[in-house]
């Protein structure tokens, strides 16, 4: 059986989701989990885009043990040099060079003639090959490119040293029949003395990203690109967890295999969801909370008699319903440290000390601390450590038949604390009005929702908030995790407000 490589771009293309902004520590944490999940290549970022992107790519390159670490670069020597610098310490480095080839992109974005595009591909792929053994080339907007010109661009890249060709459906324009045929056309017509790996990269604008990726595999693609939970620009990217499960469940049809560890799927999805602030829809395939729920009486009856009647995927296959952790308030530091290591966390002494302190505080409030609780605890710690602004205190005055009052204190850096009070029609509104006064801002609250991390009355609360700038509609996400839902709500709003301040400034 042929092996299908999985190329994850959650930290590059996925981070282009409106409102999503991972810091370096979060990116390394996600990268480690992706490696545990079985990703073959991770696109760690776009090194020349910013200092933060460069540092994140460099940090991931230094931490990855098994997977290839790739950096994105335009067909510009400065981009390639910056990627080389960021990836110097990677065990398995790769560069991903791209240039648009569709008529609309060449004319209006690049302002280049077709001959100039071909010359640029030849020059810059050749240059990249002098610095990297693995060179991947992408003709951006390939599915809207004239076929013969696309073949010429791809052949030029191969002749210049590229051994991986990605065929991006950049705007989600294609369909499975067309996209599959495009791979078949390219594979049958390219000429090379060495093996060339073809890769799919699909966007979900028409809801066909996963179907297109599978069609590419049917027609010879050996690599699939995408993101966890399908996050990304506009309608998002191919959801890698969907492709992984489709290939496994229907291996009788596709006759391929992958290196994905399927029972790490849910944990990987949850981590990306929490750190990105992008919730997973309840009816999302594979990892949605309703994916293994049965409401219909006929379905329930069938599942009770034999799960195969209505379940083609067992929850345990993707890591749903993991065992709870028998740790409580009497558990010691050693047991806690051992469990955190088993969960994939490599903590410094200072981080372990802080995490254990938080664990003991949580254990005093909960009957039992689960793995989900611990993962949420670490996500919350990571979020708070990355904040320039820290929530210090929330005080409420509740009146059952009147306006609610809140007093909020926030540390704004350099040990300076600001306190403001406000009223609202509810407790959450009063808290958020107080925070707006501290930041002197007037964002629009576009989204607010609460999710219980575990079941029961002692569950931790996970709150997601999305703010938007009234003028340019730019979005900013924040998450807050706490045993108290009001405290979690305040943390989420502070996190989103911090991003709002950095990008928009005071209203």
Annotated binding site for Mn(2+): 13, 201, 203, 237
What residues have CB less than 8 Å from 41, skipping those under 6 apart? 5, 6, 7, 8, 67, 68, 69, 70, 94, 223
Displacement of CA 108 from its chain's centroid (Å): 30
Annotated binding site: 13, 201, 203, 237
Buried b (16+ CB within 10 A) or exposed e, 179-206: bbebbbebeeebeeeeebbbbbbbbbbb
Residue 66 exposure: Cα atoms within 13 Å on the Cβ side: 11
Q: Name the β-bridge partners of 397.
A: 405
Sign of CA dihedral 361, 363, 366, 372: positive
Rounded to 10 degrees, the C-alpha dihedral 281/285/289/290 comes to 110
| Token pair in block for residue 33 | 């989990």
Q: Under DSSP, is residue 457 helix (H, G, I), strand (E, B) or coil?
A: coil
139 contacts 97 by C-beta, under 8 angstroms: no
Nearest to 52 by CA among 77, 76, 70, 26: 26
Rounded to 10 degrees, the C-alpha dihedral 472/478/484/490 comes to -40
Query: Cα separation of 280 and 288, whole Å?
Result: 6
Query: Cα separation of 66 and 70, whole Å?
Result: 13
Sign of CA dihedral 352, 373, 481, 35: positive
């Amino acid at each position: 059986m042929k092996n299908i490589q999985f190329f994850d771009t959650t930290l590059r293309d996925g981070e282009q989701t409106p409102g999503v902004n991972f810091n370096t520590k979060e990116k390394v944490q996600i990268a480690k989990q992706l490696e545990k999940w079985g990703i073959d290549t991770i696109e760690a970022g776009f090194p020349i885009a910013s200092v933060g992107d460069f540092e994140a790519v460099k940090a991931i390159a230094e931490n990855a043990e098994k997977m290839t670490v790739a950096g994105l670069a335009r067909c510009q020597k400065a981009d390639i040099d910056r990627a080389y610098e960021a990836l110097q310490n990677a065990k398995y480095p790769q560069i991903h060079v791209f240039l648009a080839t569709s008529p609309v992109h060449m004319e209006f974005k690049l302002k280049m003639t077709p001959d100039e595009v071909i010359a640029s591909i030849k020059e810059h792929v050749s240059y990249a090959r002098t610095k990297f053994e693995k060179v991947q080339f992408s003709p951006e907007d390939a599915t809207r490119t004239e076929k013969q010109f696309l073949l010429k661009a791809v052949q030029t890249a191969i002749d210049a040293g590229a051994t991986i060709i990605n065929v991006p459906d950049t705007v989600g324009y294609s369909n499975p029949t067309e996209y599959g045929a495009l791979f078949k056309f390219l594979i049958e017509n390219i000429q090379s003395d060495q093996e060339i790996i073809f890769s799919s990269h699909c966007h979900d604008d028409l809801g066909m990203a996963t179907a297109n990726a599978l069609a590419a595999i049917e027609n010879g693609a050996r690599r699939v690109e995408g993101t966890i939970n399908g996050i990304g620009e506009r309608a998002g990217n191919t959801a890698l967890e969907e492709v992984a499960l489709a290939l496994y469940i229907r291996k009788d049809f596709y006759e391929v295999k992958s290196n994905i560890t399927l029972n790490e799927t849910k944990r990987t999805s949850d981590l990306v969801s929490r750190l990105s602030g992008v919730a997973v829809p309840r009816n999302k395939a594979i990892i949605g909370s309703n994916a293994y729920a049965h409401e219909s009486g006929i379905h329930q009856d069938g599942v009770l008699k034999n799960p195969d009647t209505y379940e083609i995927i067992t929850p345990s296959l993707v890591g749903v319903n993991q065992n709870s952790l028998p740790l409580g308030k009497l558990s010691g530091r050693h047991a806690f440290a051992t469990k955190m290591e088993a969960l994939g966390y490599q903590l410094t002494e200072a981080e372990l000390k802080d995490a254990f302190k938080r664990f003991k505080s949580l254990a005093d409030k909960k009957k039992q601390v689960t793995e989900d609780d611990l993962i949420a605890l670490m996500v919350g710690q990571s979020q708070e450590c990355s904040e320039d602004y820290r929530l210090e205190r929330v005080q409420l005055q509740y009146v059952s038949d009147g306006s609610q009052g809140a007093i909020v204190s926030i540390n704004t850096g350099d040990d300076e604390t600001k306190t403001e009070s406000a009223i609202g029609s509810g407790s959450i509104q009063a808290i958020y009005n107080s925070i707006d006064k501290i930041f002197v801002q007037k964002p629009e609250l576009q989204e607010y929702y609460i999710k219980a991390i575990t079941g029961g009355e002692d569950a931790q609360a996970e709150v997601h908030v999305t703010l938007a700038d009234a003028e340019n509609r730019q979005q900013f996400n924040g998450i807050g995790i706490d045993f108290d839902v009001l405290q979690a709500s305040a943390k989420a709003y502070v996190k989103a407000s911090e991003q709002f301040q950095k990008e928009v400034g005071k209203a």
